[in-house]
Amino acid sequence: MLTDRLTRWLRAGYYIAGYGRKFPFRARVERIVREWESRAGQGDAPKAQAAWDGQYARGEWDYLAGVAEISHYAVIVGYGTYLKPGGSVLDVGCGEGVLQERYLPHGYSNYVGVDISAVAVEKLKDREDERTAFVQGDAESTVPEGKFDVIVFNESLYYFEDPLAVMTRYAEVLAPDGIFLVSMFQGSRRARSVLEHVLRHHTVLDETLTTQGTRSWRCAVVRPKGA
């Protein structure tokens, strides 16, 4: 059994040099890292639905709608509405719908939000109309029907056990010429590594780094290689 300190070092090394790459004893290292993340309640790692529901019920994510988070939503809306004006949008890990609220004034043909948290999705039911729907579901196993011009992973991808596998599955509902918009908080080691991994496996069309106050977000526009 490794000490807590050693496991932290192992985790740091794994995300700096090993994530998404082949190396000896990889499965074992990944198991140790994931077990530690669950035990420690690591804030930037996958969590069960009950944990998300509890956080939303306690209002722990209310701050996302505040001015201090405005920049990464603005970049996503900017890319989406410039590259796919009036297009259809799938927001994976939509939370309490902050992005949909920012997107709405610019127009969309269809907006579907998916989130694992029943508490978050329940709060969005009164926003639904013939063009807007919110669905509770685990993105690791659920893909909504349809075709979408823009598929957004806004600060959600690093909460998935296998982010690249999720993107590969969601590529099936990406319209021809469609785009993925992936935003990652740069204060999270896991988020940074997941994004690098995603960039290596996709065609990168553009990206923007925003800094607001002391925090930064990197937003990439990508599509599956060969698409």
Ligand X SMILES: C[S@@+](CC[C@H](N)C(=O)[O-])C[C@H]1O[C@@H](n2cnc3c(N)ncnc32)[C@H](O)[C@@H]1O
Burial of 211 (0-12, 13-18, 19+ CB in 10 A): exposed
Q: Which stretch binds ligand X (CB under 6 A): 14-22, 135-143, 188-196, 209-217?
A: 135-143
List the one residue from 80, 87, 93, 163 that touches ligand X (CB under 6 A). Answer: 93
Radius of gyration of the chain (CA): 17
- Asked whether position 154 contacts ligand X by CB under 6 A, the answer is yes
Determine phi and psi for 221, rounding to 5 degrees: -105, 115
Whichever of 87 and 97 has its CB closer to ligand X, that residue is 97
User: How far apart are CB 112 and ligand X at their closest, in Å?
Assistant: 12
| DSSP codes of every residue in 7-73 | HHHHHHHIIIIITTS--TTHHHHHHHHHHHHHHHT-TTS---HHHHHHHHHTTTTGGGGSGGGHHHH
List the one residue from 45, 88, 111, 115 that touches ligand X (CB under 6 A). Answer: 115
Contacts to ligand X from residues 15-54, by CB under 6 A: 52
User: How far apart are CB 154 and ligand X at their closest, in Å?
Assistant: 4
List the one residue from 64, 70, 74, 173 that touches ligand X (CB under 6 A). Answer: 64
Distances (CA, A) of 134 to 10, 124, 131: 38, 7, 11
Report the run of H or E that residue 203 belongs to, with start and end. Answer: strand 202-212
How many binding residues for ligand X (CB under 6 A)?
20
**Cβ contacts of 5-13, under 8 Å, gap ≥ 24:** 7/32, 7/33, 7/36, 8/36, 11/36, 11/37, 11/189, 12/189
Whichever of 159 and 180 has its CB closer to ligand X, that residue is 159
List the one residue from 14, 124, 155, 194 that touches ligand X (CB under 6 A). Answer: 155
Whichever of 94 and 220 has its CB closer to ligand X, that residue is 94
Mark 95-114 with x for binding to ligand X (rule: CB under 6 A) and - for no binding: x--xx--------------x
Residues of the shown chain interacting with ligand X in the complex, contacts defined by CB under 6 A: 52, 64, 93-95, 98-99, 114-117, 120, 138-140, 154-156, 159-160
